[in-house]
Amino acid sequence: MVDRKHPIRVGLVGARGYVGAELIKLLSAHPAFELAYVGSRELDGQRLGDHHASYTGELRFSAPALESLPTLGADAVVLALPNGKAGPAVAAFDAAGADPVIVDLSADYRFDERWFYGLPELTRRAYAGQRRISNPGCYATAMQLAVAPLLGLLAGAVQCFGVSGYSGAGTSPSDKNDPRQLRDNLMPYALTGHIHEREVTRRLGHPVEFMPHVAPHFRGLTVTANLHLAEPATQEHVRSRYRARYADEPLVQVSDAPPWVSRIACTHGVEIGGFALDETGHRLVVVATLDNLLKGAATQALQNLNLAFGLDEWLGIPLPLASHADDAPLSNGKHP
């Protein structure tokens, strides 16, 4: 535990989106962190507390120029920007010789070996004080946790069928986050070559084929993974491998029954279950669910911040798999 007389100051760049809203709630309640600044062009000058009841201070949204970010005095910076937008912000810190902890929520640095890839349940042992941390994708988190316990036993590519709520498409209007287009619908997209497919294949060192879809619900995703095994297995053997692998992980719950999105929405962890084997014992189907805005983004970013500052990894995260109570109505499809 870090011995600090003063709170650790965290700047948030790109706070207008859904994940930014979740981070504000988590950081506002955290015993060791405080918000240094919260960037949003659309809300520039408005009181943070007028938009987020969880925040009780006097901070206002701001829209600092990228080159001014290094002067704002944050110990850590979370970049909650769209893909392709993180680079200029990172470059501003590098040009100024500033070295805060930077956690990037986009895909921009997930393939950059100079950045620590922060999926703590699988990578925390490799953390050695790196100051640049890339947060995994939401689908990529679910897929890796669903497949990792069976690495070394697999034969051939793993197929993953994914369905996410439309909050995963962000706030910029598109068919993938338009409730009218999605009503009574399931929208497939990027059925080959999705960036999360490449991310998971790279990180696991095993080929994964991913087929994502968007559904009419707001938040929460499910991945059904189809795994071919080199040797036949029993359900008990498979379950025991998963339970042993995640026995000490408070944010991973292993269940016998297939998990439901409605149970995982607004919670901070991952549920993995189902474990259906065919009659040969060579084909296994596993289901993983998580909240794409929390464990798929904001909660995982908080885990990474805690690790970076030598804090308990789960400090400030309700356990086990506890609901983010203020967000409960969102599971019914309402926006923040």
Tell me, yes or no, if 138 is annotated catalytic.
yes
Q: Residue 306: which residues within 8 A CB-CB, separation 6 or more?
A: 312, 313, 314, 315, 316
Q: Strand ranges (DSSP E) for 229-277? A: 252-254, 270-277
**Alpha-carbon dihedral sign for residues 307, 246, 316, 78:** positive
- Please state, as a whole number, how many other Cβ atoms lie within 10 Å of the Cβ of residue 28: 20
Q: Rounded distance, CA 42 to CA 46, Å? A: 9
Q: Rounded distance, CA 211 to CA 196, Å? A: 10
Kindly give the pairing relationship between strand 283-290 and strand 8-13: unpaired
For residue 133, give the amino acid letter: I
Q: Which token pair is 50? A: 């007028």
Provide the Cα torsion 66, 68, 74, 80; round to 10°.
-10
The active-site residue out of 138, 146, 169, 305 is 138
Q: Are 226 and 173 in contact (CB under 8 A)?
A: no
Q: Rounded distance, CA 187 to CA 165, Å? A: 11
Cis peptide before 100 (omega within 30 of 0): no
Q: Rounded distance, CA 294 to CA 217, Å? A: 16
Q: Which residues pair with 213 in a beta bridge?
A: 163, 188
Q: Rounded distance, CA 282 to CA 83, Å? A: 38
Residue that is written with structure tokens 């990027």 in the block:
190
Q: Which residues pair with 188 in a beta bridge?
A: 213
**Which active-site residues does the annotation give?**
138
